[in-house]
Amino acid sequence: MPTPNNNNSTTLLELALLAKDVYKENAENRGVNGWKPQKHGSLDKSSGLQIQNYQNDERPNHTVIAISGTN
């Protein structure tokens, strides 16, 4: 099992910001706190499933998967 690199960890605040950001209506409007959405890395389903790949200066690929509840 790989050893995590704690010197380059994503903070809980950053994870929370990305989790909120993934719900922006258009993928072109996404990006927060230095994280940029990858152009061909989004999937938005009407069922509430949102998937977005992000990158920043330290991490080339970070995927956020969010599932919203439905009525």
Q: Which residues pair with 51 in a beta bridge?
A: 43, 65
pLDDT digits over 5-58, tens only?
555 678 888 888 988 888 887 777 899 989 999 877 788 888 888 899 999 998
What is the average per-residue pLDDT within 55-65?
Answer: 90
| Predicted pLDDT of residue 8 | 61
| Predicted pLDDT of residue 35 | 92
| Predicted pLDDT of residue 1 | 47
Model confidence at 61: pLDDT above 80: yes
| Predicted pLDDT of residue 29 | 84
In the chain, where the domains are located: 41-71
Asked if residue 38 lies in contact with residue 60, where contact means CB atoms within 8 angstroms, the answer is no
CB under 8 Å to 61, separation ≥6 — which residues? 38, 53, 54, 55
